[in-house]
């Protein structure tokens, strides 16, 4: 059976998702929800830059529902639990990169009940969080015993992230340090990375302390730094580090971390990507130790990343490839711990 899919939101991930859905042999795009009035009525394929698909964008839930999708790929900038409950109660499965990777007990109960009412499931996935932060560390951990620490960490040049309003006004690059340090970013990111850390700790069997240890550091420009959001002036934020640690009696046992830089020159402190460059890392400390690096998920140049960022494509792919497995799953929340191995699909002839 061909699975009917709706795409909700057409930012970078949403546009990439439309392309992946169109190429997937088991899926058919049947609806596309947009937030911009200028996109309403446009062909979803043209919005995604891949040519017409015969699916016109809408901005109403009713029109999306009328297309009778089996699943929605839900990728707004910020997730809304009300949206998710509405989908589940309507019998529409949800795959998303913006939350619900490992909901707490209360939230999971609410979503499980909505899923049972509609006979649908929800799966949070993506890349970081949503894969490299928990799925792959747990897989790699099977090679070790006597594990004492697991770390998942990102090192990225944020200049290749083609969302200038987000980078400047939400992430607060180019802002004074005190403004960035007081922003909502630690809490917003912590909702996702906190879930990832708890998933790993629970599955590995760590009896962690009640509160995660959270840190946020910034580096400022020492000279003008040219960037897609304009010049970063000396003294303003040009790099940020976030860290979430689950501890046992104060000793870290699970760590998720992000390093986002406007390049790695002219920074104070003088942070760099090091000889390994941009990458994602997974490290398991145990018997034996295991380390895994992910490369080629970052663009080769800033210009290439602004045109087509591999990390954004990978995020969309990881979501879309999960759709057949989520549609086949039992109703309610379905995390990596509840689903079988998820795989991509071979290229068409």
* Percentage with pLDDT > 70 across the chain: 100
66-93 in b/e form (b: 16+ CB < 10 A) is: eeebbbbbbbbeebeeebbbbbbbbbbb
DSSP bridge partners of 29: 5
Where in the sequence of the chain do the CATH 3.40.50.720 domains occur? 3-127+313-333
- pTM confidence score: 0.94
- Rounded CA-CA distance 128/282 in Å is 11
> What are 41-66's pLDDT values in tens digits?
999 999 999 999 999 999 999 999 99
Q: If we measure between CA atoms, which residue out of 42, 56, 45, 55 comes closest to residue 19?
A: 45
Task: State the DSSP H helix or E strand holding residue 47, giving kind and residue range, or none if neither.
Answer: helix 44-47
- Sign, CA dihedral 319-320-324-327, equals positive
> What are 102-159's pLDDT values in tens digits?
999 999 999 999 999 999 999 999 999 999 999 999 999 999 999 999 999 999 999 9
Q: Average pLDDT of the chain?
A: 96
Cα radius of gyration (the chain): 20
- Rounded CA-CA distance 194/166 in Å is 21
Q: If we measure between CA atoms, which residue out of 184, 317, 171, 305 comes closest to residue 232?
A: 171
Task: State the DSSP H helix or E strand holding residue 32, giving kind and residue range, or none if neither.
Answer: strand 27-33
Task: State the DSSP H helix or E strand holding residue 150, giving kind and residue range, or none if neither.
Answer: strand 145-157
Maximum alpha-carbon separation in the chain: 58
Whether pLDDT at 348 is above 90: no
Q: What tokens were used for 221?
A: 């420009």
56 backbone dihedrals φ, ψ, rounded to 5°:
-95, 140
Alpha helical stretches, state H, 54-104: 61-66, 81-89
Architecture of the domain spanning 3-127+313-333: 3-Layer(aba) Sandwich (3.40)
* Local structure of 152: helix, strand or coil: strand
């Amino acid at each position: 059976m061909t699975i009917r899919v709706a795409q909700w939101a057409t930012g970078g991930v949403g546009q990439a998702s439309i392309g992946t859905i169109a190429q997937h042999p088991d899926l058919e795009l049947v609806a596309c929800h947009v937030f911009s009035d200028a996109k309403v009525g446009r062909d979803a394929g043209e919005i995604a830059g891949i040519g017409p698909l015969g699916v016109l964008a809408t901005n109403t839930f009713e029109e999306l529902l009328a297309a009778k999708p089996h699943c929605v790929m839900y990728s707004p900038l910020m997730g809304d639990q009300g949206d998710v409950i509405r989908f589940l109660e309507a019998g529409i499965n949800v795959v998303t990169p913006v939350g619900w990777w490992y909901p707490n007990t209360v939230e999971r109960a609410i979503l499980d009940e909505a899923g049972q009412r509609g006979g649908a499931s929800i799966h949070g996935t993506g890349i970081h969080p949503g894969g490299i932060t928990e799925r792959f560390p747990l897989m790699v951990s099977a090679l070790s015993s006597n594990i004492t620490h697991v770390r998942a960490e990102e090192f990225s040049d944020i200049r290749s992230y083609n969302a200038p309003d987000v980078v400047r006004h939400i992430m607060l690059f180019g802002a004074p340090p005190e403004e960035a340090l007081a922003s909502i970013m630690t809490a917003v990111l912590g909702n996702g990375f906190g879930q990832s850390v708890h998933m790993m700790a629970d599955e590995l069997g760590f009896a962690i302390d009640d509160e995660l240890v959270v840190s946020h550091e910034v580096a400022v420009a020492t000279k003008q730094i040219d960037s897609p959001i304009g010049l970063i002036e000396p003294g303003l934020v040009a790099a940020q580090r976030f860290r979430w640690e689950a501890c046992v009696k104060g000793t870290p046992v699970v760590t998720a971390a992000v390093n986002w830089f406007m390049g790695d020159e002219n920074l104070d402190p003088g942070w760099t990507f090091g000889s390994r460059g941009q990458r994602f890392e997974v490290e398991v400390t145990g018997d034996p130790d295991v380390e895994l690096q992910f490369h080629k998920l970052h663009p080769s140049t800033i210009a290439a990343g602004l045109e087509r960022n591999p990390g954004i494509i990978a995020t969309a792919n990881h979501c879309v490839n999960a759709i057949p497995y989520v549609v086949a799953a039992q109703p309610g929340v379905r995390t990596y711990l509840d689903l079988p191995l998820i795989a991509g699909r071979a290229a068409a002839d």
